Structure 1
Amino acid sequence: MGKKNVVSIEDRIPTLKQERKKKANRRLIFYLSLFFILIAVIVYLQSPLSDIKTINASGNSIVEESKVIDISGIQTGTNIWTVDKTDAREKLQENPVIQEAEVNRDLPWTVDIKVTEVNFVGSVKRDNEQIPISGNGKLLQDTDQTSIGGNVPFLIDFTEEDHLQQMAKELGELPAAILNLISEIHWQPTDNNQDKITLFMNDGYTVDSTIRHFADNMRVYPSIVQQLESASDEGIIHIGEGVYFEKFDSEHNAEISDNNSDNST
């Protein structure tokens, strides 16, 4: 039988004491660290270090950044943890220009406001003022908002609200690339067609159309223009029941091939 190594308990005591001391030190360091972290948090919450220093607004192109911040009710110098994000969001969404709003804390002292504005499709003239109109036909006549960004048409002679709202909804369904080509839309109802409209385009053409199915009909406008020689040919592009170009100096109308049934999507 081989000889066994026997270690007495007296020989192991120093090692055990050392390990216990290391564990105690680690535990002490952990609790001290936790204590100082809690102290730091309390100091941060109770001191000007947690006061809002910066408020950022994004997503806005119509409402100015300063106005977005003002509407939210959030102010610099107030404690960032006292900000009621739900209340600020609801205040922002009460503005007819702002469709959605999101408010977030960006620690240590910044608040970020992100808004989504309504889609504006044109403007109308009321009481010698140019008033923006949204895609759902809502006018901003009850606000001080009298300008909009982008290149959207001016709606003229729309004296009946039903036709104005219907026109706005059709414009809201129109691709932006085509919407931006329209300079003016004149409502010119007749006894036979209350939906009759005339469009003056930014590329020089004039279009005769109707409010009914306007968005679907106008989707073919780019392909129609490509078939014409130039805007110098004075005449009217008719887009409605049929599609053709009527020259002012000719007794005959130029038929335009309608590929729209394939291009209307």
Structure 2
Amino acid sequence: MSKEKIVSIEDRIPKLKQARKKKANRRLVFYLSIFFFLISIIVYLQSPLSHVKSIVVTGNSYYEDQEVIKQSGIGRETNMWTIDKEVIVQVLEENPLIDSVTIETKFPRTVEIHLIEHERIGYIKKDNVYYPILGNGELLSGSKKDIYPGDAPLLLNFSEKDRLIEMSEELSKLPTNILNLISEIHWAPSDRSKNEIILYMADGFMVKSSIRDFSEKMTVYPSIAAQLESGSEGIIHIGVGAFFEPFKQQEMSEEEIITNAVE
């Protein structure tokens, strides 16, 4: 058997010192790296490099980009890390023309503001001028037309704001194919109900219905109209049930038709 090699303590001390020194150096480098990393973050946050460089607005048709940006409060001096998205969304959604807002921050220095506006669902005639109306009942006073464009229903006789808002909300829920069939909507309240309305359809029929749950009731209109013979003239009643009432044989004025429909 060979003799076991014995290492004296004097030989081991230098190696232990060297190992401890390497370990201490590694620890020092680690702490220095963290220190300089934190310093770099502080410098970055305090420098223009963390400020917003580009602001992109999408989905806006009623307002200019700069007007939306101004309302948001975001500017070139805004720090990317201090943007409060919830506050900005709340501010922009106070605008009656805006339905919803989302804010995206895209690093390094871009902010995107995505808008969904209330859709135009019709027109209101006031003083021989036509104003677009949105799905929340808001009128676009800055977009008036001297001539009725005919690309959305014309709402007539809606003298009560609450009825106009309710009607607008119902129209905003309608499928586009049905909304496009409506030419005019007359508010025709009676002693029985203040929600009664008369519709003139593009396919020649009239519809008597109610503002309440109108969007749900009108979903049956295409199937009813399809069952009627070509050239049929009359009123389609859509309420709790649905039925067709032919006009009388003699010619009637428009005012007489509306009167008979309401009665």
Partner of 1:42: 42
Q: Compared with structure 1, are the counterparts of its residues 11 and 134 closer, same or farther at alpha carbon in structure 2 (3 Å cutoff)? A: same
Stretches of structure 2 lacking an aligned partner (at least 5 in a row): 146-150, 251-263
Residue 23 of structure 1: how far off its partner (Å)? 1.9
Instruction: Determine whether 1:211 maps to 2:210.
Output: yes
What do the CA deviations read for 1:43-92 (whole angstroms, capped 9, x no partner)? Answer: 32232212211112345455454432222121224443454545533431
Q: Compared with structure 1, are the counterparts of its residues 181 and 40 closer, same or farther at alpha carbon in structure 2 (3 Å cutoff)? A: farther
Describe how 1:21-40 pairs up with structure 2 within 5 A: 21-40=21-40
Are the counterparts in 2 of residues 167 and 211 from structure 1 also a CA contact under 8 Å?
no
TM-score (norm 2): 0.70
What do the CA deviations read for 1:175-202 (whole angstroms, capped 9, x no partner)? Answer: 4543344343233456777544333445
Partner of 1:132: 133
Partner of 1:198: 198
Q: Which amino acid in the other structure matches residue 38 of structure 2?
A: L
Partner of 1:263: none
Residue 117 of structure 1: how far off its partner (Å)? 3.5
Distance 2:179 2:157 in 1: 19
Residue 17 of structure 1: how far off its partner (Å)? 3.4
Are the counterparts in 2 of residues 186 and 197 from structure 1 also a CA contact under 8 Å?
yes
Partner of 2:242: 243
Distance 2:182 2:88 in 1: 37
Cα RMSD (Å): 3.7
Q: Compared with structure 1, are the counterparts of its residues 120 and 26 closer, same or farther at alpha carbon in structure 2 (3 Å cutoff)? A: farther
Q: Compared with structure 1, are the counterparts of its residues 193 and 52 closer, same or farther at alpha carbon in structure 2 (3 Å cutoff)? A: closer
Distance 1:9 1:74 in 2: 70
Q: Which amino acid in the other structure matches residue 205 of structure 2?
A: T
Describe how 1:1-265 pairs up with structure 2 within 5 A: 4-60=4-60, 62-81=62-81, 83=83, 85=85, 87-118=87-118, 121-127=121-127, 128-135=129-136, 138-140=137-139, 144=142, 152-188=152-188, 195-202=195-202, 204-213=203-212, 214-228=214-228, 233=231, 235-236=233-234, 238-241=236-239, 243-245=242-244
TM-score (norm 1): 0.69
Q: Compared with structure 1, are the counterparts of its residues 26 and 248 closer, same or farther at alpha carbon in structure 2 (3 Å cutoff)? A: same
Stretches of structure 1 lacking an aligned partner (at least 5 in a row): 252-265
Q: Compared with structure 1, are the counterparts of its residues 55 and 236 closer, same or farther at alpha carbon in structure 2 (3 Å cutoff)? A: farther
Residue 130 of structure 1: how far off its partner (Å)? 0.6
- Determine helix, strand or coil for the equivalent of 2:28: helix
Q: Compared with structure 1, are the counterparts of its residues 216 and 46 closer, same or farther at alpha carbon in structure 2 (3 Å cutoff)? A: closer
Residue 220 of structure 1: how far off its partner (Å)? 0.6
- Determine helix, strand or coil for the equivalent of 1:35: helix
Distance 2:155 2:222 in 1: 21
> Which structure has greater helix proportion?
2
Distance 1:120 1:6 in 2: 95
Q: Compared with structure 1, are the counterparts of its residues 67 and 145 closer, same or farther at alpha carbon in structure 2 (3 Å cutoff)? A: farther
Distance 1:239 1:190 in 2: 15
Are the counterparts in 2 of residues 205 and 237 from structure 1 also a CA contact under 8 Å?
no
